[in-house]
Amino acid sequence: MRFSNFLFPESREPARDAQVIEETLREARLADELGCEAIWLAEHHFDGICAYVDPVSFAAALAVATQRVKIGFAVAQMSLHHPIRMAEQLALIDSISRGRLIVGLGRGTAYNIYDYQGYGIDPDEAQARLEEAEAIMFRAWSGESFEHRGRFWTLRVPMLRPRPYTAPHPYVIRAASSEEGMLRIARMGRPFMMNVQPNAVMRQRMELYRRTLREQGLDEAGVARNLDQCWAWRNVFVAETDAAAARVALPAFAAMQEHRVAMRRRVFEEQGVSLVPMAATGAPPPAHAVAEHALIAGSPATVAEALAEIAAMGFGGIILQFRLGPMAYEDAAQSLTLFMRKVAPEFSRKAAA
Please list, in sequence order, all residues whose beta carbon lies within 8 angstroms of the beta carbon of residue 185, skipping any fewer than 6 positions away. 174, 176, 191, 192
Amino acid identity, residue 326? P
pLDDT band at 38; cut points 50, 70, 90: very high
- Cis peptide, bond prior to residue 75, ω within 30 of zero: yes
Lowest mean pLDDT: which of 33-42, 148-157, 258-267, 282-291? Answer: 282-291
Rounded Cα distance, 2 and 59, in Å = 20
Percentages helix, strand, coil for the chain (3-state, rounded to 5) are 50, 15, 30
In the predicted structure, residue 351 carries a pLDDT above the cut 80? no
Mean pLDDT, rounded, for 231-244: 98
Lowest mean pLDDT: which of 34-48, 230-244, 267-281, 323-337? Answer: 267-281
Q: Which pTM does this prediction carry?
A: 0.96
Average pLDDT for the chain: 96
Return the CATH fold of 2-352.
TIM Barrel (3.20.20)
* Side-chain-facing half-sphere of 156: CA atoms under 13 Å: 0
In the predicted structure, residue 281 carries a pLDDT above the cut 90? no
* Side-chain-facing half-sphere of 212: CA atoms under 13 Å: 21
pLDDT given for residue 117 in this prediction: 98
Backbone angles phi, psi at 227, to 5 degrees: -60, -35
Rounded Cα distance, 321 and 7, in Å = 7
pLDDT given for residue 204 in this prediction: 98
Share of the chain above pLDDT 70, in %: 99
In the predicted structure, residue 174 carries a pLDDT above the cut 90? yes
Instruction: List pLDDT tens digits, range 73-114.
Output: 999 999 999 999 999 999 999 999 999 999 999 999 999 999
pLDDT given for residue 352 in this prediction: 59
CB 200 within 8 A of CB 285: no
pLDDT given for residue 265 in this prediction: 94
pLDDT band at 61; cut points 50, 70, 90: very high
CB 238 within 8 A of CB 339: yes
Mean pLDDT, rounded, for 17-25: 98
pLDDT given for residue 124 in this prediction: 97
pLDDT given for residue 284 in this prediction: 87
Mean pLDDT, rounded, for 182-201: 97
Please list, in sequence order, all residues whose beta carbon lies within 8 angstroms of the beta carbon of residue 121, skipping any fewer than 6 positions away. 79, 80, 108, 129
CB 36 within 8 A of CB 44: no
User: What ranges do the domains of the chain cover?
Assistant: 2-352
Backbone angles phi, psi at 103, to 5 degrees: -90, 90
